[in-house]
Chain A
Amino acid sequence: MTNYNFGQALLDSLVGLLVVFFALVLLMCIIKIMTAVGDSREKKRAAAAPAAEAAPVAAAPAAPAAKLAPGVAGEVKLYDTDPRTAAMLMAIVADELKTPINELRFISIREIKEEA
């Protein structure tokens, strides 16, 4: 690299940035394809499910659905979080926002782990 000049460095930097973009755009395309394949499989499974339900084999008496408490507005998905912590977090958020908890909609709670 004895005769390496600024012009070459500029060109290498441009190529380097393009390589980074190319690699990550490639990954982006792969993730999109992976998601599309996953979604189509999910749709097929969902379409197959009602057909199976409609079949006469599914004659077992269905358990009566438990009655929901007043104000219930969906389910919170918990990832790496125990229900006790989730309940505390929802209470804290409601308190911080000064909003009644039944007016808030929690979709999921996930623990973010510290990384080095």
Chain B
Amino acid sequence: MQHILETLGRLGSTSGFTTMTWQQALMIVIACVLLYLGLVKKFEPLLLVGIAFGALLTNLPGSNMYHPEMWDAYIAGTMGVGQIIHEGGLLDILYIGVKSGLYPSLIFMGVGAMTDFGPLIANPKSLLLGAAAQFGIFAAFLMALGIFGFEPNVAASIGIIGGADGPTAIWLTSKLAPNYLAPIAIAAYSYMALIPLIQPPVMRLLTTKEEREIKMEQLRPVSKTQKVLFPIIVTIFVCLLLPSVAPLLGCLMLGNLFKECGLTDRLSDTAQNALMNIVTIFLSTSVGATAVAERFLAPRTLFIIILGLIAFEFATIGGLLLGKLMCKLSGGKINPLIGSAGVSAVPMAARVSQLEGARANPSNFLLMHAMGPNVAGVIGSAVAAGFLLAVFGG
């Protein structure tokens, strides 16, 4: 009898129920709220469910799946990856792919294999709208630094939320501010899911009904040769201009080349399905694992969430204002609503432009026109991330 009691006592003393801190309990509640948002409200469920479950696993006392102190030692140079593999938990091992930039780059390869750059090639001016929408990144960076007092490298990582591109945000943050990876990834993916709520009020505020009603001309057809040459040319020129962006942009364009060349259908299929799905599981759970209670529960997390929203709004404003200017200069041939699609978030932002255009004029079809700035935004945010890494990564 005494032996049974001793065994039960030992079990009780090592049980998570007795060793749990209030911070861990709160994190478990937060993880459950995120699971609710992903599963019930369908906020980017493919990513958010994994992130939330990773946050849940890492905050279960005694689970020993992720050790932030090991990664601090790795950054300080006192611990190597080999030692982390040997002594770390499951999520530590998966996190190596985030730290090395492997997962975001592979996700970009899948995104490239799914992206049709045809609307962008048909209307190259859309690249300007994709560039203007990166205004949100730099506006949020300045606010994070000047108003909220974040360090420059952290402010740069917060700013990249405005790029509305999850893999880019994770890639840059894992290099510049790994301790803030969880809140930045959660903010980026949550706001991407909320684009249909975030953008329309700003779009209506900054455009007149007449502008929203503008019908755009049919896009010209794009030849297969142009579509095959595009990823090769972009890789050569942009990576020569900004070498730090090569892993992200190179993978994006490689995936696109698989799709467009017509000779590597199997590779294209793997990149956009099997590989993408496997990497998404690894990426989301290991990013979620960084939401450790003692680091996540801080006023700074709240500031990041606020700044993320500001970044998205300024990105939308940047794209819309240039859209309005292009509308004026073209004599009313360009609907400024396509400017807001420059914030990446493919294809959600383009759909919002289509919906707002159709709301003003039911026979207005802006979707293909908005896809140009939308995919230009992906390239633009990658270039902005490369710039920030070049400036703050040293």
Contact = CB atoms under 8 A, between A and B. Distances in A.
Interface of A: 1, 4, 6, 9-10, 12-17, 19-28, 30-32, 34-35, 38, 77, 97, 107-108, 110, 112-116
B128 A26 contact: no
Instruction: Tell which of A9, A23, A110 has the most Cβ of chain B within 10 Å.
Output: A23
A110 B238 CA distance: 29
B256 to A, nearest CB: 12
Main secondary structure, interface of A, reads helix
A115 B241 contact: no
Contact of B346 (A31, A35, A115): A115
Contacts of A13: 138-139, 141-142
A112 B375 CA distance: 13
Question: Top 4 nearest A-B pairs by Cβ distance?
Answer: A13-B138, A24-B127, A31-B124, A24-B131
A40 to B, nearest CB: 13
Instruction: Tell which of A6, A13, A20 has the most Cβ of chain B within 10 Å.
Output: A20
Interface of B: 46-47, 107, 110-111, 114-116, 120-121, 124-125, 127-128, 130-131, 134-135, 137-139, 141-142, 145-146, 151-153, 155, 166, 218, 221, 223, 225-226, 229-230, 233-234, 237-238, 241-242, 276, 280, 346-347, 363, 367-368, 371, 376, 379-380, 383-384, 387-388, 391-392
Contacts of A23: 131, 237-238, 241-242, 379-380, 383
Nearest to B377: A24
A112 B107 contact: no
A16 to B, nearest CB: 5
Contacts of A27: 124, 127, 233-234, 237-238, 379
Contacts of B145: 6, 9
Contact of B376 (A4, A24, A110): A24
Contacts of B139: 13
A9 B392 contact: no
B380 A116 contact: no
